[in-house]
Amino acid sequence: MALKEKPIKAVLFDYGNTLVEFGPKQIMYCDMALANALERHFGPADLTKFREIRQRNRMAPYRRTGAEEYRENDMVEISTSLVRELYGIEPTPEQLADILRTRFEVFVRVVQAPDYVFDLLKKLRKKYRLGLLSNYPDGNAIRKTLTQTGLEGYFQEVVVSADVGVVKPHPTPFITILDRLRVRADETVLVGDNWLADVQGGKRAGLRVILTRQWECPEEQTQNPDDSQPDATISHLTELESLLL
């Protein structure tokens, strides 16, 4: 199969809904905490409008065009804009700081790593260089969860879209982590759940890609007739052991 045609030196993992679950349930908890913080500072919000803005923000990096194409969200910018759209006012620095702290803390709280992930990564790192490549607008939050769950020590490199300013499928995140791991694209496999960010982005960058369908991807998964196809598809992360070991 195509996955094994050439030697593999590195395996890259997406984070949410690949290594850890971050789907509708986790998003609901994050939204509830954010809505409660807004209500504490500014009063009841129009929840329908709140949900519309939140979903628009989540998809914004994938819908930008021109020079802004795939630009990652800025947490200060989208948090300030959220208050402005819902309440018609500007948050004070103290209010904004509390909103950002709430977003950080609830994200860290809802991310949990399944037990089987540790056993799998322990086996893979004996044979491959491992990297984490995540789309998220707060790199510190991602790194905090890696420390808290105990996943941090399994990866030689971690690249978050917030750190490089653009999200997958933009080539910059892929180029960055490949450079840091000192491997070529054709020596590398990416495991991810997002059809555009991971499958299309990874294939365009020259990687072999394994699509995981273990959890529901919260982003829209539009597939076009001329899209690149993954080199393999799995229904559970533990299936990687038979593919890569």
Q: What is the pLDDT averaged over residues 22-26?
A: 94
User: Residue 5: pLDDT above 80?
Assistant: no
Same domain assignment for residues 52 and 126: no
What pairing do the DSSP bridges indicate for beta strands 232-234 and 208-212?
Answer: parallel
User: What mean pLDDT is predicted for residues 62-85?
Assistant: 97
Write down which residue in 83, 110, 137 finishes a domain. 110
Contacts for 106 with CB less than 8 Å, ≥ 6 apart: 29, 30, 33, 34
**Does 124 lie in the same domain as 49?**
no
Nearest residue to 211 via CA among 76, 30, 13: 13
Question: Domain of 239?
Answer: 2-21+112-244
Mean pLDDT of 231-242: 96
Does position 137 have pLDDT exceeding 50, yes or no? yes
Segment 6-30 mean pLDDT: 96
Q: Are residues 140 and 240 in the same domain?
A: yes
Mean pLDDT of 51-72: 96
Indicate if 44 and 158 belong to the same structural domain. no
pTM of the model: 0.95
Residue 6 has a pLDDT of 84
Rounded CA separation 172/207 (Å): 14
- Collapsing DSSP to helix, strand or coil, 74 comes out as coil
Give the mean pLDDT of 172-186.
Answer: 98
For residues 42 and 79, membership in a common domain is answered with yes
Residue 30: band (very low, low, confident or very high) from pLDDT cuts 50, 70, 90: very high
* pLDDT over 90 at 218, yes or no: no
Shared domain check, 221 and 124: yes
Q: Which of 81, 110, 139 is at the close of a domain?
A: 110
The answer to whether residue 1 scores a pLDDT higher than 60 is no
218 closest CA partner among 132, 136, 148: 136
Same domain assignment for residues 123 and 71: no
Identify whether residues 121 and 169 lie together within a single domain: yes
pLDDT digits over 74-126, tens only? 999 999 999 999 999 999 999 999 999 999 999 999 999 999 999 999 999 99
Query: What percentage of the chain exceeds 70 in pLDDT?
Result: 99
Q: What is the total count of domains within the chain?
A: 2
Same structural domain, 118 and 8: yes
Which CATH number is 126's domain given?
3.40.50.1000
Q: What is the pLDDT of residue 193?
A: 96
| SS3 (DSSP) at 84 | helix
Judge if 154 and 208 occupy the same domain. Answer: yes
CA distances from 13 to 1, 135, 223 (A): 20, 11, 21
Mean pLDDT of the chain: 96
Give the CA distances from residue 54 to residues 30, 58, 186, 239, in Å, rounded to whole numbers and listed in that order.
11, 6, 37, 34
Residues 71 and 121 in one domain: no
Q: Do 123 and 58 fall within a single domain?
A: no
Contact by Cβ (8 Å): 160, 140: no
Q: Which of 110, 145, 176 is the last residue of a domain?
A: 110
By the 10 Å C-beta count (0-12 exposed, 13-18 middle, 19+ buried), 128 is classed as buried
Show the 3-state SS of 213-240: CCCCCCCCCCCCCCCCCCCEEECCHHHH
Q: How confident is the model at residue 68 (pLDDT cuts 50, 70, 90)?
A: very high
Give the pLDDT score at 2: 64
Q: For residue 221, is pLDDT > 90?
A: no
